[in-house]
Amino acid sequence: MSLPLAHRRPVTALAVCAAALALTAPAAAPEPVATSPAAVLPYQDPSSPVPDRVTDLLARMTLDDKLGQMTQIEKDALVPQSDLAAHRIGSVLSGGDSTVSPNNAQTWADTYDSLQRTALATPLGIPMIYGIDAVHGHNAVRGATLFPHNIGLGATRDPALVQRIGRAVAEEVSGTGIDWDFAPCLCVARDDRWGRTYESYGESPGLPASLTTFITGLQGETLGGGPAPVLATAKHYLGDGGTVGGVDRGDTKLSEAELRAVHLPPFKEAVRRGVGAVMLSYSSWNGVRSHANTYLVTDLLKGELGFDGFVVSDWAAVDQLDGQSGFTGAEISTAVNAGVDMVMVPHDYKRFLTLLRGEVTAGRVPQSRIDDANRRILTKKFQLGLFERPFTDRSYTATVGSAAHRELARQAVRASQVLLKNEGGVLPLPKSAKLFVAGRSADDIGNQSGGWTVGWQGRSGPVTDGTTVLRGIRAAVTDPSRVTYDRYGNGIDSSYRAAIAVVGETPYAEGRGDRPGGLGLDQEDLATLARLKASGVPVVVVLVSGRPLDVSAQLPDWKALLAAWLPGTEGAGVSDVLFGDYAPTGKLPVSWPRTSAQEPVNDGDGKDPLFPYGYGLTYSGAGPASPPAPGACTARFRTTSSWQGGHQAEVTVENTGSTPLTGWSVDWDLGGSRVTSLWNGSLTTADGRASVRNAAFNGSLQPGATTSFGFTAEGTAGTPAPHCAGS
């Protein structure tokens, strides 16, 4: 049951905090004018508007207070812990391998509260904000619910489901005290060789833009306006999914028009949703690193898009601007002047603060820039309610790994499955059949969860609690004794109805996950598959991977291929589809290459992939559905009225495919006109073209069904030929 905002954190925390603040108010502060025992300073008054509270607090802060708010440090680098207060540090984080012992929700909450008490022991009592990469669930905590990685959620095409997942993650994160999530990743992955492809919802900008609902799930409709709000982070700004060759931290070589058309739309939608923070990318745009790019950060993000949250750097990214490790004053001033508000240091915070102070006193970083950064950071702290409720709300601690959240994750797993081949209707499998299961990922929770799972790069083995694919299969069948498992496929004979091979990738994260040399299966998987093929038993392949793999040569040997992505802890969602309890509904969020050499391959680039973007089969009765014409739709343009200097038009969208659409988008050349208002859709414009995607209520279209949107524009209508794409 959700609790009202007033109960997000214990009421006793307010009393403790207020008492501490009253005892330690700065000497320079004006005398209190109120005589009530409950009198507080203006910034401590929760009934005052947030901008007024921020202004009052800023007026009381020293330069050291302000520089500390702009500093984020790794928890394990904080030695001694008292430095948190001594240096007025505003934020703490846990990196990918930073943990607690024992690793459970209770210890995380205790750790958070201890750090927060230290942060509050300062003259102004400004609470810290604690950040963590909860990118597919609260993945640093053993026993937390782990959802499919973003590429799998992209396959669901379900914004409402993704919002529910964001809410569940917020509850589990809040249950450990933490109030800031470095998610969602809104990168548009354009080259599957990139090691972060699984962090992307998909290759087409409209798909990640539609799934920014995760932000609403984390923060609420308005930040702090509901129970257990957690600050969301749109990352990594901008273009990290478009680097040449899919190289992590590489260079995105695109024109500005291309950058805006492909990589900016998800961030624009995130800003519209009120995302609280934006994290910059390590990558460069045409040779200029994002952390040094004033145009992208200050002019475009904060200016043109109107982003009013704060910008945080990525891990140690600022001290790498000159290509070497270790901070310099020039790197710091470059980044802060470009628009970085908070620097993820994360270790050498004393040197960082000394250098930043020197840049300010020397006039190389204006005081106005420092004040702007602090205003942005403090605004979010006030909106989150940290000043009133700084400690863990233990009522949410029990939600970590709860049955309700695991059921939601199982739903997400089955909705993410993409059926790519089903020859002879081998799927769904009979629950009474004699089955052979093989493959190193069949009974490995670490493999099916992937990177960012109780560790940055993840690892194979029983790293956390959950249900493996094998356990899900055994739970689904009528007689578990008729299911035989051998990782390598040894012992199979012709007596089995089918062999299920669960193969694919082992865990990785960025850097180590880059695969410039190819995307093929490794020797163990190939050997296992060869043994199964030799038995003559129909082979059903469940591919556990963070991206499409090069399987063209092996595909003729398989009766069925199910892309399971990285499903997380609830492997029973895979068996739900294998046995037909739920028909597969997932659609490819990326184009599936014929060979690794075809990369990059993306929708609309003229290449012929093995399976196109949006492809996905389903079951029809006991057999396969005919391959759909994925995303097939047409758009018809009609001018409804015109006048000198303007016109009004209507566009009708029709599903001309054989399967339902869950969303559509229409684009056309504006011919010099400018759209001034639009209804029944969401508009973006770039490089002289308009793009409209469906509204929430009119995206679903059955075959043959139509819907429409309309707009008013300045200029002549002309005779545009709109292009329609469905999903």
What is the spatial distance between Cα 621 and Cα 604, in angstroms, rounded to a whole number?
33
Residue the block writes with tokens 């605004």: 379
Among 211, 207, 227, residue whose Cα is nearest residue 219: 227
Report the chain's terminal Cα–Cα distance, integer Å.
Answer: 34
**Is residue 113 flagged as an active site residue?**
no
Measured CA distances, 612 to 83, 120, 473, 603 (Å): 54, 54, 29, 7
Residue the block writes with tokens 């299966």: 521
The catalytic position among 74, 172, 192, 314 is: 314
Structure tokens at 32: 């209190």
Among 629, 630, 653, 667, residue whose Cα is nearest residue 705: 653
Residue the block writes with tokens 């993306």: 602
What is the spatial distance between Cα 172 and Cα 168, in angstroms, rounded to a whole number?
6
Structure tokens at 595: 């060979």
Does residue 428 have a cis peptide bond before it, meaning omega lies within 30 degrees of 0? yes
**Looking at 508-553, which runs of residues are DSSP E strands?**
539-544
What is the spatial distance between Cα 431 and Cα 482, in angstroms, rounded to a whole number?
10
Give the burial string for 24-55 (b: 16+ CB within 10 Å, else e).
Answer: ebeeeeeeeeeeeeeebbebbbeebebeebbe
Structure tokens at 590: 């990326």
Measured CA distances, 228 to 51, 220, 578 (Å): 22, 9, 36
The catalytic position among 158, 510, 570, 599 is: 510
> What residues have CB less than 8 Å from 487, skipping those under 6 apart?
438, 439, 440, 442, 443, 528
Q: What 3-state DSSP class applies to 208?
A: helix
| DSSP class of 429 | P
Among 229, 267, 278, 268, residue whose Cα is nearest residue 377: 278
Structure tokens at 594: 């014929």
Looking at this protein, which amino acid is placed at residue 454? V
What is the spatial distance between Cα 195 and Cα 510, in angstroms, rounded to a whole number?
5
Looking at this protein, which amino acid is placed at residue 719? T
CB atoms within 10 A of CB 161: 20
Among 115, 178, 222, residue whose Cα is nearest residue 400: 178
What is the spatial distance between Cα 359 and Cα 352, in angstroms, rounded to a whole number?
11
Looking at this protein, which amino acid is placed at residue 539? V
Structure tokens at 457: 């790069």
Task: Judge whether 212 and 162 are in contact, CB under 8 Å.
Answer: no
Among 287, 608, 572, residue whose Cα is nearest residue 445: 572
Give the burial string for 622-640 (b: 16+ CB within 10 Å, else e).
Answer: eebbeebbbbbbbbebeee
What is the spatial distance between Cα 131 and Cα 475, in angstroms, rounded to a whole number?
38
- Alpha helices for 123-205 (secondary structure H): 150-156, 159-174
**Is residue 314 flagged as an active site residue?**
yes
Give the residue numbers annotated as catalytic, written as ranges. 314, 510
